[in-house]
Amino acid sequence: MKSDPMWHTLGTMSPLTDSHGRTKRKLRISLTDRCNFRCTYCMPEHPDWLPRASLLDRGEILRLAGLFVDQGIDQIRLTGGEPLLRRDLVECVSAMQGLRERGLRRLSMTTNASRIAPLARTLVAAGIDDFNVSLDAVDPVVFRQLTKREVAPVLDGIRALADAGASVKLNAVVVRGDNDGEIVPLLEWAMAQGLPLRFIEYMPLDAPGHWRRDAVMSEAEMLAAIGVHHRVETLARSSDPASPYQVDGRYPLGIISTVSHPFCASCDRLRLTATGELFTCLFSPVGTPLGTRLREGADDATLEAIVRRAVWLKDAGYASRPGPVERPITMHAMGG
Ligand code: SAM
Ligand code: SF4
């Protein structure tokens, strides 16, 4: 490892870089660990919610977000849990607009969309640039098996976002034996709606002991299933984690294959949980308690130094140690 850059970069505008030479540009902020769904691949059936008082308030989120933007983060994604369960969501989005003059270029949201319909126009007007909506099946029975909830409100939410002129992408986690039969129907539904879709390989981030390698539908297997019905061409890769494809000569499809083709070597992301714990990797066994230090009264220079140190020490990632991670935090609390 190269020498620790914490002190000589402190207070400058140099970008957040780790010891593997990867610069961080993207931050995911979990607004809450609460969720109205129970996706089997994401959380335990009976989750222990974080104590309410431990969740960062709006001012704390804004202060930490600003600290990251000042250090070169230019894209923030609001996530959860389900961000729509945050009562002051619109106020959070409005407050973050002030970060644009400090360097924020994009503010996005990942949502299950089941509660978004009445708020779609407000969120677009408040300044969300684009939405990723999770939709793992169009068949109501399969959707219910995976999420323990109904698909109809999600489809209503997607329609409301489209009506509000929002930029929308669909994300679908594929779990063998659960929704692999939905790969082609989902693709054809998304093509008919004119909405880009990305399939995601099932990652070992759910309840301890739940993930199984043989439940992962690999990118190659998904392509084979699609290839029976459609012509699929491979496109040139960009910095996006999804491998890009073109279906039937016109439709853009992405596949995020973290398990079969980890993209750790180019990872530019950081994650902040709803309590302000900084995770430099989705698979890190432990986080850095930034929120706790903030509540203890740490000033910005101290918090910035903590962030720089944590980022510098970010390890190589999933590619270097594939398989389940031993830790008490699952995807719904980490912020996907
Ligand atoms: N509730 C929102 C939603 O579902 O879009 C935001 C939070 S959710 C944790 C963010 C993303 O993580 C979703 O697209 C979800 O499908 C994905 N995800 C959750 N658990 C996963 C797993 N084990 N493997 C792959 N993706 C997962
Ligand atoms: Fe909730 Fe999203 Fe996790 Fe599903 S994937 S349980 S909607 S946080």
pLDDT digits (tens, 9 = 90+) for 183-221: 999 999 999 999 999 999 999 888 777 889 999 999 999
Atom 4 of ligand 2: nearest residue by CA position: 39
pLDDT digits (tens, 9 = 90+) for 246-292: 999 999 999 999 899 888 888 899 999 999 999 998 888 889 999 99
Q: In angstroms, rounded to a whole number, what is the distance separating the alpha carbons of residues 100 and 55? A: 24
Average pLDDT score over the chain: 92
Distance 92 CA to ligand 2 centre (A): 20
pTM, two decimals, is 0.94
Which is higher by pLDDT, 319 or 87?
87
Q: How many CB atoms lie within 10 A of CB 240?
A: 12
Atom 19 of ligand 1: nearest residue by CA position: 42
pLDDT digits (tens, 9 = 90+) for 51-90: 999 999 999 999 999 999 999 999 999 999 999 999 999 9
Q: HSE (CB half, 13 Å, CA atoms) of 163?
A: 13
Q: What is the pLDDT of residue 326?
A: 67
Lowest-confidence pick of 9-18, 37-46, 140-149: 9-18
- CB 274 within 8 Å of CB 50: yes
Atom 8 of ligand 2: nearest residue by CA position: 81
Listed in order, strand segments (DSSP E) in the chain are 26-30, 75-79, 106-111, 130-134, 168-174, 197-201, 232-234, 243-247, 251-256, 269-272, 277-279, 288-289
Cβ 205 under 6 angstroms from ligand 1:
yes
Q: What is the pLDDT of residue 13?
A: 62
Binning pLDDT at 50, 70 and 90, where does residue 44 land? confident
- The pLDDT > 70 percentage for the chain reads 94
Q: In angstroms, rounded to a whole number, what is the distance separating the alpha carbons of residues 95 and 165? A: 22
Question: Could you give the domains of the chain?
Answer: 26-334 (3.20.20.70)
For ligand 1, mutation pick of 132, 133, 178, 200 (most atoms within 8 Å of CB): 200
Distance 331 CA to ligand 1 centre (A): 7
Longest dimension (CA), the chain: 59
